[in-house]
Amino acid sequence: MLLTFVIVGICYCLSAVAQNGPSLTVTVNDKSSVVPGFIYLAVNTGPAAGPYIFDSNGTIVFNGAGKLGSGAIHDFHICAYQKVARLCLWKGTTALGYGSGQALILDNQFKIIKSLPASDYHELKIIQAIDAGGQYSDTALQTVYTPVRRDLSDFGVPYEDDQGWVVDCHLRAIDPVTNRVIFDWSSLDHVPLNETYVLPTGGINGYSKTFAWDYFHMSSITRFGSDYLVSSRHTSTIYLVSGKDGSIVWRLGGKRSDFKLQGFSFDSQHDVRLAPNPGQGTGNVFTLSLFDNEYNTFVQPPRGLSSGKIIEVNVDTKTARLLRQYDSPSKDIGNPSGDGGSVQQIQKGNVFIGWGADAQVTEHTADGRLVYAARFGVPGSSAWSYRAFKGPYLGPKK
């Protein structure tokens, strides 16, 4: 069963305010309604690439740029490792929508405690569990993108002269102490190529290993009892994957959905999570949160506006319905997010949203009221944060 505990080791002592880094311009701040806390962002590329912690006024209280050397930074957040609050992030190189690098676990002085095996940046989740014998353990969930040769002639790519390459996306669960692989699942072994909405094109044309066709694009992994929820951006589908044999139990969304979506849809989604509602999670009726991009830069034009969504899934009736939708403050100017995005359910029933490539963060009450909005940027750069999080301060002391 899953273990729930109070994270210990939080330090609320602030570091000296950094003078250089991205700006965070706050436009809405209803202090009576927002949840107190700090904002965790990772600027992905450019001279300001690095992890940052902001206070709610938009002031940088920790600047991690350059502290881990050069490279892209993603998914900077508080994690729990061996029952202690730590900092987690991914560092590496990125190109054409995926990456090659390592996930790192750090203490609050930004010292590396643990480096995990090579992975892509789309997921870094450490989950806790107790087995039947009462033994506690951590499991790290990661995405791995591996280009492989495949006959793609049915999709217009010749299978000759070292042509015909496709990305095989892997769900990988590992023991973060020993780096032992506990479970490995391959998209190519279970999801046919024709489920995709993104055909070979441009930089993912399948003509070489460098430009391998990313037909699946795994965008998040969530533990679901003993199984896994896998989000595929390029098939616009959420898959329930058996933790026993890797078979697909059901599909939600996409071309082969086992569920009827009642009055809503989602497209090119990110960050699918089980909503932390008491008594729900692995039964026949459960709640999911997700970031609905409605836009994929490999498929033009945008199909709609991005939003955060909370949906209820009923396995018995094979239906899904929209419970709540959280819109962007920039929806009136039609500004969808073409990449990234996250939805975090926090205290008081509030929801904190990172808007990915539309570089802003917002907070909403449970009934959808906007109570916080801020846009960040780096002068002379289009840098953004793949995900954004809110939580207590866990960083270097003064």
Average pLDDT, the chain: 90
Check if the beta carbon of residue 113 is closer than 8 Å to that of residue 106.
yes
- What is the structure's pLDDT at 196? 98
State pLDDT tens for residues 184-216.
999 999 999 999 999 999 999 999 999 999 999
| Residues contacting 45, CB < 8 A, separation 6+ | 72, 94, 381, 383
Q: Give the pLDDT band (50/70/90) at residue 302.
A: confident
Residue 341 has pLDDT above 70, yes or no: yes
Residue 57 has pLDDT above 80, yes or no: yes
Most confident range (mean pLDDT) of 95-99, 127-131, 334-338, 379-383 is: 95-99
Rounded distance between C-alpha atoms, residue 208 and residue 163, angstroms? 5
- What is the structure's pLDDT at 17? 37
| Residues contacting 167, CB < 8 A, separation 6+ | 98, 145, 146, 147, 148, 204, 212, 213, 214, 215, 216, 217
Alpha-carbon distances, residue 172 vs 182, 188, 258 (angstroms): 8, 14, 25
N- to C-terminal Cα separation, the chain: 39
Residue 3 has pLDDT above 50, yes or no: no
Residue 360 has pLDDT above 60, yes or no: yes
Q: Peptide bond before 301: cis, by omega within 30 degrees of 0?
A: yes
For residues 323-329, average pLDDT: 93
Higher pLDDT, 373 or 334: 373
Q: What percent of the chain has pLDDT over 70?
A: 91
**Predicted model pTM:** 0.93
CA-only gyration radius of the chain, Å: 20
For residues 137-147, average pLDDT: 97
The owner of tokens 């969808």 is: 336
Higher pLDDT, 297 or 382: 297
Residue 346 has pLDDT above 80, yes or no: yes
Higher pLDDT, 301 or 281: 301
Note the Cα 174 to chain centre separation in Å.
18
Residue 4 has pLDDT above 50, yes or no: no
Cβ-based burial of 143 (10 A; exposed 0-12, middle 13-18, buried ≥19): buried
For residues 61-72, average pLDDT: 91
The strand pair at 181-186 and 165-174 is best described as antiparallel
Higher pLDDT, 67 or 275: 67
**CA-closest candidate to residue 197, choices 213, 220, 221:** 213
Q: In this predicted structure, which of 4-8, 175-179, 262-266 has the lowest mean pLDDT?
A: 4-8
- What is the structure's pLDDT at 277? 59
For residues 360-385, average pLDDT: 89
Element (H, E) at 174: strand 165-174
For residues 124-131, average pLDDT: 88
- What is the structure's pLDDT at 20? 60
Q: Give the pLDDT band (50/70/90) at residue 334.
A: low
Q: In this predicted structure, which of 85-89, 280-284, 345-349, 391-395 has the lowest mean pLDDT?
A: 280-284
